[in-house]
């Protein structure tokens, strides 16, 4: 009997989307083999390592032109992939982590990007981080935006869609009013509500905080 196969085309998707799409497909099930298509080596490596986390068998990793094909068998247990012609092996992670969850955490974001290097890279990393939070099993309790972080929650922001998804999942989005006034963005706030430094200080002292 032929194995039922599902093809997941993640070409063109930026990190971490290929891994998250793979995770969703595996959770949905309904197939014997999952063929994941990506178009850069980092995405290939990330999907193969995630297969180790997810206890999938990696049956093949092959390169065809600019496309990498990763063949996964759910519930087969972690295994080293059989690399296709001209392709190097990628070792999956040996142990499965717990569910991706930020349940109960307050996330403090004080800039429009992550890190102090290239600004475009920092913005890309922050968009990916917020996308990952929106896809997590458990979302943060709240996100506090200060200084340049308030620019994420205004009209025209590339991160607005993910902040709105988080808000729909019950995450409280709080933007510093002083910061909005400084950048003249108060009228453009498109998600969450305006807060003040007194409230921010109290919330940050209440429990676990992740600061970016």
Per-residue model confidence as pLDDT tens digits over 149-196: 999 999 999 999 999 999 999 999 999 999 999 999 999 999 999 999
Nearest to 41 by CA among 90, 94, 95, 84: 90
pLDDT in tens, 64-96: 999 999 999 987 665 555 545 444 445 544 444
Q: Enumerate the CATH 3.30.110.40 domain ranges in the chain, comma separated.
A: 5-73
User: What is the Cα–Cα distance from 65 to 24, expressed in whole angstroms?
Assistant: 26
* Alpha helices (runs of H) in 71-144, residue ranges in sequence order: 119-135
**Global confidence as pTM:** 0.72
Give tens-digit pLDDT for 29-41.
888 899 999 999 9
Thinking of the domain 5-73, which architecture would CATH place it in?
2-Layer Sandwich (3.30)
Residue ranges, CATH 3.40.1260.10, the chain: 106-211
Strand partners, 57: 73
CATH no. for 106-211: 3.40.1260.10
């Amino acid at each position: 009997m032929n194995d039922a196969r599902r093809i997941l085309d993640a070409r063109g998707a930026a990190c971490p989307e290929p891994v998250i799409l793979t995770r969703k497909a595996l959770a949905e099930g309904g197939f014997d083999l999952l063929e994941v298509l990506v178009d850069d080596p980092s995405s290939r490596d990330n999907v193969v390592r995630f297969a180790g986390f997810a206890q999938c068998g990696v049956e093949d990793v092959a390169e065809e032109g600019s496309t990498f094909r990763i063949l996964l068998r759910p519930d087969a247990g972690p295994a080293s992939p059989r690399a296709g012609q001209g392709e190097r092996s990628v070792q999956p992670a040996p142990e499965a982590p717990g569910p991706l969850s930020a349940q109960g955490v307050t996330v403090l974001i004080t800039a429009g990007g992550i890190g102090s290097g290239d600004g475009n890279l920092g913005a890309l990393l922050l968009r990916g981080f917020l996308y990952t939070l929106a896809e997590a099993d458990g979302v943060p309790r709240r996100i506090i935006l200060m200084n340049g972080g308030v620019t994420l929650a205004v009209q025209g922001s590339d991160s607005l869609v993910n902040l709105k998804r988080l808000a729909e999942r019950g995450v409280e989005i709080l933007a510093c009013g002083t910061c909005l006034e400084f950048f003249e963005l108060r009228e453009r706030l498109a998600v969450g509500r305006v807060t003040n430094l007194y409230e921010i200080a109290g919330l940050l002292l209440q429990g676990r905080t992740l600061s970016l």
